[in-house]
Structure 1
């Protein structure tokens, strides 16, 4: 979900992949990723009592972080740095408007489910998919291939850039 308040767009995760009983939040300023005026709120679970947390959602916009990564949270409530990578990746797909007659969103949802992958949707056109193992990805790619070729959907890897808090 995205909400604009006083010129800042806040991106939140309505249904984090690893929702637990106790969670913490941290903000990621998306300016280093060419998205000035945007902040993404990540769900975390505490690893120790010293500001170290594990990411429990699949980032929509922040680069260089994924589900299960261990991060250090700063005093300002933001993610300062990545301490340990989980080995997981994030595949993001954005569907353009207007939607074509052969809209592949349902096919993508089915492919993600049948592969046993976790995903989070930001609205009905932007999905972040957790990729613990790339060997199960072919049906996911195939489900949106036609739209990507026609440029009615776009995809990227969330680790195509390194995480930066500055």
Structure 2
């Protein structure tokens, strides 16, 4: 695979930017797809995630992860060593529903969540364990009202 055919999703405003001191890559399920994660180095090949994953599953803000060389890259996510106990949700807004974006962002933040925008259409949401169900219920209500589509950051 050539570098020209690779696609990288980046975080322009990572939620814990002040903690981060490194950027690693995480391979996505689509061929040539990577998400660049802002992280804080805690060991030779171990890092704390300092952003809310946009596309990765089973990785959350605050997780301690391990990297390994892969495909010519030195630091590629290989596994989660210590889950933070935080939850990730993603809300997708189709263009006709952009008018609901700001209210949704404010709504989840009022419930204790933190957010990062990937694009005008995709909102990544981080929340601690005790608040996760309230945020999930809120996002489900918004989806039921036809304002967005949401998912959790956990795979089955």
Normalising by the smaller structure, the TM-score range is 0.7 to 0.9
Taking CA–CA contacts closer than 8 Å with sequence separation of 6 or more, which of the two structures ends up with the larger relative contact order? 1
State the partner residue of 1:27: 25
Secondary structure (helix, strand or coil) at the match of 1:99 reads: helix
Is residue 95 from structure 1 mapped to residue 90 from structure 2 by the alignment? no
Cα root mean square deviation, aligned: 2.3
Is residue 121 from structure 1 mapped to residue 106 from structure 2 by the alignment? no
Q: Distance in 1 between matches of 2:139 and 2:93?
A: 13
Q: Is the 8 A contact 2:139 2:150 kept in 1?
A: no
Correspondence 1:1-166 to 2 at 5 A: 6-20=4-18, 23-31=21-29, 35-48=30-43, 50-75=44-69, 76-99=74-97, 103-135=99-131, 138=134, 141-142=137-138, 145-146=141-142, 148-149=143-144, 151=146, 153-161=148-156
Q: Distance in 2 between matches of 1:135 and 1:116?
A: 7
Q: How many residues align?
A: 150
For residues 58-106 of structure 1, give each alpha carbon's deviation from its aligned partner in whole angstroms, at most 9, with x where no partner exists. Answer: 0000111000000112232201111110001101111113337xx3212
Q: Is the 8 A contact 1:51 1:73 kept in 2?
A: yes
Secondary structure (helix, strand or coil) at the match of 2:131 reads: helix
Structure 1, unpaired ranges of 5+: 162-166
Q: Distance in 2 between matches of 1:139 and 1:42?
A: 24
Counting helix residues as a fraction of each chain, which structure ranks higher? Answer: 2
Q: Is the 8 A contact 1:112 1:140 kept in 2?
A: no
4+ residue runs of structure 1 moved beyond 6 angstroms? none
Q: Is the 8 A contact 2:19 2:40 kept in 1?
A: no
Structure 1 residues 46 and 89 mapped into 2: Cα distance closer, same or farther (>3 Å)? same
Q: Is the 8 A contact 2:38 2:51 kept in 1?
A: yes
State the partner residue of 1:164: none
Please report the TM-score for the alignment, with normalisation by the length of structure 1: 0.79
